[in-house]
Amino acid sequence: MSTATIIDGKAFAESLRTRVGHVAADFTAKAGRKAGLAVVLVGEDPASQVYVRNKGKQTLACGMESFEHKLPADTAEADLLAVVAQLNADPAVDGILVQLPLPAHMDEAKVIATINPDKDVDGFHVVNVGRLATGLPGFVPCTPLGCVMLLKDKLGSLSGLNAVVIGRSNIVGKPMAQLLIAESCTVTVAHSRTKDLPEVVRHADIVVAAVGRPEMVKGDWLKPGATVIDVGINRVPGVEEGKTKLVGDVDFGSASEVAGAITPVPGGVGPMTIAVLLRNTIVAAHRNMGLALDEGVL
């Protein structure tokens, strides 16, 4: 039987988007224009198209402008860089997101390096990575920031807690570790080469699973009462022939019998990622226009 509290990321994301909407209306009144988010999608990956469509819809629903740039999969890297440069120069664009992954013929690091760091609402530019690592104001990657928001909402102070992050990607694992360090957690970063992962996880008050392996983390790995944040979005064959279902990196069935609280997939971290993107965009709009904003209201 499931005994864990389910952390409702979908509901939290909705309330965050409502707060972003109020701040966005205030911005429009002060700036005389709406805040704008540009999303660049290269290629026709169906999952990416769904995400981009959802981002666009939610951007508009928050009272911000959405600019979508869809480029064919065989676009030359130079042409993508030119689009980014044009968005950097456009005063109607406060935030720029280039959907990843990019086609194999493109150098992702080079493309990200071209984005103006002050419009980099994904927080992927090395300048923002450095700002996060050194405690300067900048932009923090949306998924890990969303995870910390859920953790603080659930636990209050995270100070002194043992946190184990499984995964060391630039997008989730590494920035997640930085944020947890800033919250005064004792942080362990585990990954595919970690020896005896269950034994490492057993010490964690907080587990953040971001490895991309369906249902890898089992309930009997967990310290009873641990808070489990599942970042995984894995599409696997469903019970019905030909259908797929979405599962996380955590085996929800067994984990929810041991954890104190756990995020579901779907409806956990995923919706937070988009809500934080909108939050980062309205923050960028204020900063770049020199308008004051109490970021604590977000």
Residues of this chain that bind Mg ion (CB under 5 A): 167, 191-192
Q: Which does 146 bind (CB under 5 to 8 A by kind): Mg ion, ligand GUE, none?
A: none
Contact of 181 with 216, CB cutoff 8 Å: no
Q: Which of 157, 117, 119, 163 is nearest to 144 (CA)?
A: 163
Which segment (83-91, 97-105, 162-170, 204-212) binds ligand GUE by CB under 6 A? 97-105
Q: Please count the other Cβ atoms lying within 10 Å of the Cβ belonging to residue 281.
A: 28
58 scored as a contact of ligand GUE (CB under 6 A): no
Dist. CA 108–CA 131, nearest whole Å: 20
Task: Count CB neighbours of 64 within 10 A.
Answer: 24
Which of 42, 197 has the CB closer to ligand GUE? Answer: 42
For this structure, is 122 an active site residue?
Answer: yes
Which residue in the shown chain puts its C-beta closest to ligand GUE? 270
Taking CB under 6 A as the rule, does residue 176 contact ligand GUE?
Answer: no
Which of the 8 DSSP states describes residue 267?
S
Closer residue to ligand GUE (CB): 186 or 234 = 234
Q: Which is nearer to Mg ion, 117 or 167 (CB)?
A: 167
Is residue 61 a contact point for ligand GUE (CB under 6 A)? Answer: no
Burial group, residue 284, by CB count within 10 angstroms (0-12, 13-18, 19+):
buried
Beta carbons within 8 Å of 104's beta carbon, 6+ residues apart: none
Instruction: Pick what 191 binds: Mg ion, ligand GUE, none; C-beta below 5 to 8 Å, kind-dependent.
Output: Mg ion
Rounded distance between C-alpha atoms, residue 154 and residue 238, angstroms: 31
Site for ligand GUE in 126-145 (CB under 6 A): 142
Tell whether omega for the bond before 224 is within 30 degrees of 0, i.e. cis.
no
For position 51 contacting ligand GUE by CB under 6 A, the verdict is yes
Residues that bind ligand GUE (CB under 6 A): 50-51, 97-100, 122, 142, 233, 246, 265-267, 270-271, 273-274
Mark the binding-site residues, compressed into ranges: 167-169, 233
